[in-house]
Structure 1
Amino acid sequence: MGIVAHVDAGKTSLTERLLYAAGVIDRIGRVDDGNTRTDSMELERKRGITIRSAVVSFALGDLPVNLIDTPGHSDFIAEVERALSVLDGAVLVISAVEGVQPQTRLLMRTLDRLRIPALLFVNKIDRVGARYDDLLADIRRLLTPAAVPMESVAELGTRSASVDLLAVQRAELGEILAERNDAFLERYLEDAELDHAAELRSQVARAEVHPVYFGSAMTGVGIPELIEGIRSWLPRASGSPDDELRARVFKVERGAAGQKLASARIVSGTLAARTPVAVHPGDGPQYQTRPSGIEVYRDGTRQPADRVEAGQIVALRGLKSIRIGDQLGVRTRQVGQLFAPPTLETVVRARDRVRLFQALTQLAEQDPLIRVRKADDITVSLYGEVQKEVIASLLASEYGVEVTFSETTPIHVERLDGVGAAMREITDSLWAAGVGFRVSPVAEGIEYGLEVELGALPRAFHTAVEETVRQTLHQGLYGWEIPNIRVDLTHTAYYSPTTVAADFRRLVPLVLLEAIAEAGTTVMEPLNHFELDVPSDTVSRVLAHVAEHRGVVSQTMLTETQAHLEGTLPAATTHPFESHLPTLTRGEALLATTFHSHQPVAGPPPARARTDGNPLNEKQYVLNLNRSA
């Protein structure tokens, strides 16, 4: 089960309450005091926010629960994505005061897309400004029309706030359930005796209906009712220990001695320590390995185990090449990337560049969306400014590396303008290989096709060609990635006694970039979608501010006191735009941004320093290869 929410809605406080109710802890920690069970990083305690997903296991009666507390800040959305891939159900936390916030909507859309059953928990009913009726209306309008309130609230917005289970109006509940099941509708219209609870349980399991509970994680009000809701409505794990092993790695960290520790969900089957297991990487060939040790999450701790089975979350040791997203045992369908990759990057500087690069490379193992790039400078990709502080803190505390950052800049991409082709025969080449490519634009993703017979080239050479093609596409004509392109292999040649795979690896970048140069590329900058709430009397100033930062407002909703604006804003100007908002709005602005799309850069296209020796300049490229040899 996952607990997800917009930042500051109370996820970690709710986790503490559940642990206390389950008897795992005897004292409830406070986020403000930095003593919660799941926020273990020093920076998490200092900032009062969750940065890394944390796993804790406990029992609610006869129901064993593996709970994952996820970050709420949008800078750490990649952590949320990895947790969602292993969930049976979720609790989406909403603040009764702040209500449905932009990140709440993003998370609900993702839960719906993955068909993850979810309960909604409205927290902070004891706070001044807490809402009930109009918040339910917002939930139905912005999140899901199938929200079923399970409780009423007395003395809302006071320290004495309490909840009462509704004898949920059978008529209202019946109508909601009948809308989603024709058989139930037929019996409902016949006024037959119906088992509303069984139908509700079934529709919650299919992620069609969402019960709504109310309470306060600080005072404990509503927590017993929420626990009963979790036990009653969320489906239990269905994998069997007798089936084939299926497991997914969703977190990788390093222990005190520097060894890798991989957290995985065992979906089905069993796994034993020191026995061979097949690993299916997301973008590479299958291989076999043996976990040297297994720990299982149980009763709030990690305990050593020789054998684990379906339904458990485990920590695996001794898997040196393991990465987040890898599957163990039998490969199952991969869930595509749920959220957009980072659109910003910054240069990281330290006295010892070698140690810095090694440390950042290890951090990237724990977060695949932190891309580390080494050219003239070392750069790292980001979702936002808060990540800079996190990276600096981790480098200092875990690796003893003090760093500074340059100003954050957007990560551009290149779009192919047309079709291009290039070919080199062995006689034209410095290496004992010949190759030809045709490139063309596609709407999404990288497509690779063969227009040569598969048997005309040894399989190892085909593998070398395809791997090098995908690597070369990380740097187009201006040094930016080309994400949407089709590459067709149109020609191959080799000398049987002398050609090796390295000949193709060296030649492919030259020929592929020749083809791309013939097609031409346009540099595109990232564009963010923004949602902005401001006092209504500041709208004119804010609209001028949007225009000044190259933004476009597409939707405006005004009330007497508040204005809600939506539109697009270039990633390059988003941070400067945000930093001036408090001054323009008396500190009352609420801004949320998510990646929207790419648009062509106005003016001269920006170039990025290359890391590949520059295949666009053959003489320079060959000299660089000879120096590296």
Structure 2
Amino acid sequence: MKTLNIGILAHVDAGKTSLTERLLFEAGAIGHLGSVDGGDTQTDSLDLERRRGITIKSAVVAFTAGDRRITIVDTPGHADFIAEVERALRVLDGAVLVVSAVEGVQAQTRVLMRTLVRLGIPVLIFANKIDRMGADDAGLLRAIREKLSPRVIALSSVTGLGSPAAASTPRTLDDPAFAEELGELLADGDDAFLESFVDDGIRLGEADFRAELVRQTQRGQVHPVLFGSAITGDGVAELVTGIRDLFPATEGTGEGPLRATVFKIERGRAGEKIAYARLRSGSLAPRQNISLYRRESSGNVVELSGRVAAVQVIGEDAPAAVSGDIARIRGLREVRIGDQLGTAEALPERGFFAPPSLETVVIPERPEQASALYTALERLAEADPFIGTRRHPDTGEISVRLYGEVQKEIVKSTLAEEFDIAVSFAETRTLFVERLVGHGDAVQEMDPGERVYFWATVGIHVEPAPPGTGTTFGLSVELGSLPLAFHKAIEETVVQTLQQGLHGWEVIDCAVTLTRTAYFSPVSAAGDFRKMTPLVLMEAVKQAGTRVFEPVNRFELEIPAHCLSAVLLKLAELRAIPGEPDAGPASCTVRGSIPASAVAEFERALPGLAQGEGVFLSEFEAYRPYPGSPPSRRRIGANPLNRKEYLLRTLRR
């Protein structure tokens, strides 16, 4: 049986969890149709998800349609949980993008569609809620063409729109208007089909149209639209047919070397890790010894090993997982989200979405629970690495990175319900970064004739690297000049030390070169190089100098034309840089950039400025220099910028 892994993606409240439930019910995978309002859906398994009626964690379920086993990854819709969506995108063969026929195309829908198109993932658009009052089919199609993709084709039509009797009817090539519309769309995307379509001597049949539609859909050139209702089930059968016939399936053979991507981790009843992975090639069976590959923040790849205790293929009782399968894997104690099993080949360089640009301090209401709070947050970070827990060794202050206020509420509720820890939060602050201004060189010599604190000689050169390249570590000394463990200690310490620059923010896009090394055998140890490196590195960074940069989002704003002046005034107040407005008869579109720290304030002000009719879309664009006096963040740990303090703390004197 062929396998097909799809994602259900949408803006919050578009109805994707209800659609997933309906797909499972119609396929016979479940005997009871749950509801979001009733809190008994299959994919919203957390109590918190059921109470709030939103998806927080990706869920994986499966059903069978003909000769296909279809595995569904139901993803969160709220922008605060975009990291969950990113992990799901790495394992999909196709995506169903759910759009409400009532609310229309939302800002988050546009972010998702942009990403899917950029990655070349085939997309089917399901126009949901045709039975709801206010549903609009023609207007929705126009909005989809204008805001999502111009190359869409409606494969169904609607009767009784906006009423409980609403029904979706498949369009067929017997309808000359549909045949002409589909033919022109497909001809626009393929020259060979165009020649056949316009040649009077060639008569194209339904099979020709269908084959070309499949080809262009799988290449991401065409995005079919199907109307329906997840609540009534109308149009869902046509959606299943579209998924089965239009998306590329995998014939699992188990051949080739193992390559699998871990995209989700949860804990079992005994606290053990359970990893969810999509196999790209090879096979995976219980009691198999495997390698795990992980790309660190420095860009380096590390290799770990593990032994698989148990493998459960989603949707099938099989002794082993093969290519195309998504499986639950037990026994890998060191596994993390983003790891690749079997080989480092094609390990992703970086994420699709930007990391969080906000940070907040988490305060336990009972101070004696501070240690338990840190442990609990570390456990949450296993399931969401972007959380990035940070603890000050002197004050015990614990901070986490977040995408927004909703995610903060979810973290608070999770800590209270799963770990019995009540917390409050300090005011959310923006995460800035630092970039080098120039070049810097520093060296610390080990002279046995003088007082020696660390038996190590380290020389380092730093310089700016191109934006987006991260931290790179190079050698201008021979690799054999030091034991490999000492080289590794230096490299790991460089990455760790650059988490705090001259102003306390992470130093990004930095090229570090090791220029000098020496050791004194048999006294020198890796710890000497770990302790010496921060002093040398920060001396070089201080010599080069750094500048603080702030995260900036690109935005797109649609507002009534008569509200333009008030909106532009507010944007200027928030240090946004708008472009030339694109004016229409009744509305206008403004594009530009805005500091990430100002996005939340602008979103709060927009309804009043635009009389409730503004649509604001924002996503991370880049970092730009912070104007004025640079903000700083309190450092954690020993401060290598203060040699005396650093030596006292490091030597524990």
Aligned to 1:82: 87
- State the alpha-carbon separation in 2 of the partners of residues 341 and 27 from structure 1: 39
Stretch moving more, 530-539 or 74-83: 530-539
Q: Deviations over 1:228-267 (max 9, x none)?
A: 1111111112442132222111001112322111111122
Is residue 107–residue 615 contact of structure 2 (8 Å, CA) maintained in 1?
no
Per-residue deviation, 1:67: 0.4
Amino acid at match of 1:511: V
Instruction: Give the alignment's TM-score, normalised by structure 1.
Output: 0.94
Aligned to 1:129: 134
Aligned to 1:405: 425
Once the two structures are superposed, the pairs formed by residues 372-451 of structure 1 within 5 Å of their partners are: 372-375=389-392, 376=395, 377-427=397-447, 430-443=453-466, 444=468, 445-451=470-476
Aligned to 1:470: 495
Per-residue deviation, 1:115: 1.6
Per-residue deviation, 1:617: 0.4
Per-residue deviation, 1:535: 4.9
| Pair 1:199–1:586, CA change in 2 (3 A) | closer
Which secondary structure state, in structure 2, belongs to the residue aligned with residue 179 of structure 1? Answer: helix
Is residue 252–residue 322 contact of structure 2 (8 Å, CA) maintained in 1?
no
Which secondary structure state, in structure 2, belongs to the residue aligned with residue 333 of structure 1? Answer: coil
Aligned to 1:361: 378
Aligned to 1:179: 188
Amino acid at match of 1:406: A
Per-residue deviation, 1:91: 0.6
Is residue 559–residue 613 contact of structure 2 (8 Å, CA) maintained in 1?
yes
- State the alpha-carbon separation in 1 of the partners of residues 527 and 33 from structure 2: 59
Is residue 276–residue 290 contact of structure 1 (8 Å, CA) maintained in 2?
yes
- State the alpha-carbon separation in 1 of the partners of residues 53 and 648 from structure 2: 52
Aligned to 1:290: 307
Which secondary structure state, in structure 2, belongs to the residue aligned with residue 298 of structure 1? Answer: coil
User: Is the aligned partner of 1:215 residue 2:238?
Assistant: no
Q: For structure 1, which runs of at least 5 residues remain unmatched after alignment?
A: none
Q: For structure 2, which runs of at least 5 residues remain unmatched after alignment?
A: 1-5
Amino acid at match of 2:536: V
Stretch moving more, 98-107 or 384-393: 98-107
Aligned to 1:488: 513
Q: Deviations over 1:411-431 (max 9, x none)?
A: 000011111111122128621
Stretch moving more, 189-198 or 228-237: 189-198
Amino acid at match of 2:87: R
Q: Over the residues paired in the alignment, what is the CA RMSD in angstroms?
A: 2.1
Aligned to 2:280: 267
Amino acid at match of 1:52: K
Aligned to 1:5: 10
Aligned to 2:352: 338
Is residue 313–residue 320 contact of structure 2 (8 Å, CA) maintained in 1?
no
Instruction: Give the alignment's TM-score, normalised by structure 2.
Output: 0.91
Which secondary structure state, in structure 1, belongs to the residue aligned with residue 652 of structure 2? Answer: helix
Aligned to 2:3: none
Per-residue deviation, 1:561: 5.6
- State the alpha-carbon separation in 1 of the partners of residues 633 and 338 from structure 2: 29
Is residue 124–residue 225 contact of structure 2 (8 Å, CA) maintained in 1?
yes
- State the alpha-carbon separation in 1 of the partners of residues 458 and 557 from structure 2: 52
Which secondary structure state, in structure 2, belongs to the residue aligned with residue 257 of structure 1? Answer: coil
Stretch moving more, 246-255 or 549-558: 549-558
| Pair 1:239–1:515, CA change in 2 (3 A) | farther
Which secondary structure state, in structure 1, belongs to the residue aligned with residue 507 of structure 2? Answer: coil
- State the alpha-carbon separation in 2 of the partners of residues 573 and 498 from structure 1: 54
- State the alpha-carbon separation in 2 of the partners of residues 256 and 94 from structure 1: 37
Once the two structures are superposed, the pairs formed by residues 205-284 of structure 1 within 5 Å of their partners are: 205-283=218-296, 284=301
Which secondary structure state, in structure 2, belongs to the residue aligned with residue 627 of structure 1? Answer: coil
Is residue 156–residue 169 contact of structure 2 (8 Å, CA) maintained in 1?
yes
Is residue 534–residue 590 contact of structure 1 (8 Å, CA) maintained in 2?
yes
Which of 272, 289, 310 pairs up with 2:323?
310
| Pair 1:238–1:451, CA change in 2 (3 A) | farther
User: What fraction of aligned residue pairs are identical, expressed as a percent?
Assistant: 50
Which of 320, 323, 332 pairs up with 2:336?
323
- State the alpha-carbon separation in 2 of the partners of residues 537 and 363 from structure 1: 47
Amino acid at match of 2:309: S
Stretch moving more, 406-415 or 549-558: 549-558
Which secondary structure state, in structure 2, belongs to the residue aligned with residue 389 of structure 1? Answer: helix
Is residue 252–residue 325 contact of structure 2 (8 Å, CA) maintained in 1?
no
Per-residue deviation, 1:185: 2.9
Amino acid at match of 2:457: G
Stretch moving more, 557-566 or 369-378: 557-566
Q: Deviations over 1:604-624 (max 9, x none)?
A: 212112123110001111111
- State the alpha-carbon separation in 2 of the partners of residues 354 and 533 from structure 1: 47
- State the alpha-carbon separation in 2 of the partners of residues 193 and 491 from structure 1: 75
Stretch moving more, 286-295 or 46-55: 286-295
Is residue 239–residue 267 contact of structure 1 (8 Å, CA) maintained in 2?
no
- State the alpha-carbon separation in 1 of the partners of residues 114 and 167 from structure 2: 30
- State the alpha-carbon separation in 2 of the partners of residues 85 and 527 from structure 1: 26
Is residue 613–residue 621 contact of structure 1 (8 Å, CA) maintained in 2?
yes
- State the alpha-carbon separation in 2 of the partners of residues 261 and 362 from structure 1: 13
Which secondary structure state, in structure 2, belongs to the residue aligned with residue 509 of structure 1? Answer: helix
Stretch moving more, 282-291 or 367-376: 282-291
Per-residue deviation, 1:31: 1.6
- State the alpha-carbon separation in 2 of the partners of residues 44 and 158 from structure 1: 29
The count of aligned residue pairs is 624
Which secondary structure state, in structure 2, belongs to the residue aligned with residue 340 of structure 1? Answer: coil
| Pair 1:556–1:277, CA change in 2 (3 A) | same
Is residue 293–residue 306 contact of structure 1 (8 Å, CA) maintained in 2?
no
